[in-house]
Structure 1
């Protein structure tokens, strides 16, 4: 497997772990010095360390019934970067459906996810998770 395929494989494994609600596996796929940036101006927007991301994932998992499934729509890889379009699907414990579209930019280092930029529809996040 070449480096580009290996990098896409890391991202695929991350998406699979999301779909299985396997927070331990997600965290294990993150580099010790990883950062994860979430777009928008929501309370969850901003940059997270690996430890902070784990706390966010636990909090998000508590809001959904099962898991947030991330289905990749396509990958583009160059060097140590993988761009991925994806669609999420989850049922929340409040009865709402979370179905968002994403663009992720992953930077891979030492076989782990080192940097993430996550772009999605923040208004959908707000409406599904934070509005009464």
Structure 2
């Protein structure tokens, strides 16, 4: 697949993630897909330490069920860019939301998507873990970090 078509597949996948439809989300991943985030990140800690998701069913459960137990309201995603080279697509993104404890969350992310035969095989997620943890410690307090 071309870089342009892989880039479009990842853009389309984000639209599928927004549907919160587990079957649709599941179908954009390979059966043995992986989603890796830094160990000890605030979202992983809020979900009992889960930072390495294996298998499309597990990833779909995170994106369609667990995500909204942490980021409960006013979720907004602002994309900075999508960049592709062959089967690798890089996404810049900013996530803002209300957390389960009522506090505000605002952090920037970079995702590296690796595709295989047009499906997502691996996602590597990067964020400012200290900034994320600060938001989780601050219920109902808006901060400028």
Alignment-derived partner of residue 35 in structure 1: 34
- Output aligned runs, 1:26-105, within 5 Å: 26-42=25-41, 43-57=49-63, 58-66=65-73, 68-105=75-112
TM-superposed CA distance for 1:47, in Å, is 4.4
> How high is the TM-score relative to the length of structure 2?
0.73
Distance 1:56 1:35 in 2: 12
Task: Say if 1:35 and 1:113 are closer, same or farther in 2 by CA, change over 3 A.
Answer: same
Structure 1 gap segments, 5+ residues each: none
Task: Say if 1:20 and 1:68 are closer, same or farther in 2 by CA, change over 3 A.
Answer: farther
Task: Say if 1:54 and 1:129 are closer, same or farther in 2 by CA, change over 3 A.
Answer: farther
Number of aligned residue pairs: give it. Answer: 131
Q: Could you tell which deviates more after superposition, 19-28 or 4-13?
A: 19-28
Task: Say if 1:99 and 1:20 are closer, same or farther in 2 by CA, change over 3 A.
Answer: farther
Of structures 1 and 2, the larger Rg is shown by 2
Alpha carbon RMSD of aligned pairs, Å?
Answer: 2.6
SS of corresponding position for 2:72: coil
